[in-house]
């Protein structure tokens, strides 16, 4: 089996490439990323530098048994036309190229962020509407990609389409990347080390689901190698509320009003002090809780890490400035933080 993975150099992509390459059923993995990936000494893996929003993708996808589409830009939040081009237009180009290339299976990285808001903790299954929150660029683009897949499935019923909808994905090697994407260069690394703070402020009503990158990669591997179709919610226990977030930090939770948190975030975002937008905060605060029985039953998927363990590993990695071997996962450095500030926080990919 030959599998092409877009977004192969990112948090999830590096794990998916590695998981597929280890599987004896896979003969070759082609990793596609915008920037050239240095030789990582991975048998069965070949890397190709290509931008999904620009390059001719059909030659890359031709001959593939399956395509895993992970390529996605979270930033710049201050320039939504850039993320729209990469995420909405880029996804459409990948889907159309897969159809022309005769790919037999397409596994797309959707997200819990594609789901329409829900204001209680009753878990939703994969039939919950995927209209997201249109004011948030991330959700708007994830929902648009879902509509593109609807059209693709209608046009190509012969292609097996899988939509993976994971919660927040953490690991040590992506800690610095996630600090850059969401917290920005002004976050003191010492403050996020578990056990350092006696108390941690948590916005009232915040809860989300998380999983470890290795567990996410295993779910994608299973989706590629199975005959499954449709959508799959993927997340570990427990649902992460104030108590669980505080446990990951080794601190005592202190509730703060969500409105005050949003106001502070909005001011910092408009000052280019943090890259995460207030609209993204709105989306996170309205996420539904996902039921994950389908992934466990039909894919045989079972997470090895709890959500608390995954978040705690990322927090230790953030405090240590940890990173990975690819450009998106580059470790922290003073020069890197200065470059983030110099180029405008939230102004560049």
Q: What is the DSSP letter of 290?
A: B
Print pLDDT tens along the chain (349 aa).
Answer: 999 999 999 999 999 999 999 999 999 999 999 988 866 788 999 999 999 999 999 999 999 999 999 999 999 999 999 999 999 999 999 999 999 999 999 999 999 999 999 989 999 999 999 999 999 999 999 999 999 999 999 999 999 999 999 999 999 999 999 999 999 999 999 899 999 999 999 999 999 999 999 999 999 999 999 999 999 999 999 999 999 999 999 999 999 999 999 999 999 999 999 999 999 999 999 999 999 999 999 999 999 999 999 999 999 999 999 999 999 999 999 999 999 999 999 998 8
Helix axes 11-22, 213-225, angle to 10 degrees: 50
Give which of 174, 168, 125 is closest to 284, Cα–Cα.
168
Q: What string of H, E and C letters represents the secondary structure of 7-42?
A: CCCCHHHHHHHHHHHHCCCCCEEEEEECCCCCCCCC
Residue 263 pairs with which residues in a beta bridge? none
DSSP 329: T
**pTM confidence score:** 0.96
Q: Which domains does the chain have, with CATH numbers?
A: 2-168+210-234 (3.40.50.720), 172-208+239-287+305-341 (no CATH)
Token pair, residue 171, equals: 């690991």
CA atoms of 11 and 173, how far apart (whole Å):
8
Q: Positive or negative, the Cα torsion across 224, 228, 231, 234? A: negative
- Is residue 80 within 8 A of residue 137, CB to CB? The reply is yes
Q: Are 314 and 168 in contact (CB under 8 A)?
A: no
């Amino acid at each position: 089996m030959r599998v092409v993975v877009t977004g192969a150099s990112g948090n999830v992509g590096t794990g998916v490439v590695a998981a597929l390459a280890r599987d004896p059923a896979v003969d070759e993995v082609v990793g596609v990323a915008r920037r050239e990936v240095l030789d990582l000494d991975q048998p069965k893996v070949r890397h190709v530098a290509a931008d999904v929003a620009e390059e001719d993708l059909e030659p890359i996808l031709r001959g593939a048994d399956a395509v895993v589409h992970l390529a996605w830009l979270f930033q710049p939040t201050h320039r939504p036309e850039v993320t729209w081009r990469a995420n909405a237009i880029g996804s459409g180009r990948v889907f159309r190229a897969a159809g022309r290339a005769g790919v037999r299976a397409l596994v797309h990285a959707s997200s819990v962020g594609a789901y329409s808001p829900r204001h209680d903790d009753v878990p939703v299954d994969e039939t919950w509407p995927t209209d997201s929150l249109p004011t948030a660029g991330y959700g708007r683009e994830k929902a648009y990609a879902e509509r593109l897949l609807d059209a693709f499935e209608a046009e190509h019923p012969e292609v097996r389409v899988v939509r993976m909808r994971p919660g927040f994905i953490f690991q040590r090697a992506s800690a610095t990347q996630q600090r850059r994407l969401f917290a920005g260069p002004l976050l003191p690394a010492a403050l996020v080390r578990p056990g350092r703070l006696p108390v941690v402020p948590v916005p009232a009503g915040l809860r989300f689901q998380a999983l470890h990158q290795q567990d996410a990669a295993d779910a994608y591997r299973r989706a590629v190698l199975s005959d499954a179709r449709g959508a799959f919610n993927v997340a570990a226990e427990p649902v992460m509320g104030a108590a669980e977030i505080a446990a990951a930090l080794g601190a005592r939770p202190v509730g703060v009003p969500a409105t005050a948190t949003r106001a502070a975030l909005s001011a910092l975002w408009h000052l280019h002090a943090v890259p995460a937008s207030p609209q993204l905060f709105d989306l996170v605060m309205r996420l539904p809780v996902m039921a994950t029985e389908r992934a466990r039953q039909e894919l045989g998927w079972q997470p090895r890490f709890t959500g608390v363990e995954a978040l705690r590993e990322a927090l230790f990695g953030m405090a240590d400035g940890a990173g990975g071997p690819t450009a998106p996962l580059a470790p922290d450095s003073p020069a890197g933080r200065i470059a983030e500030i110099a180029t405008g926080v939230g102004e560049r990919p």
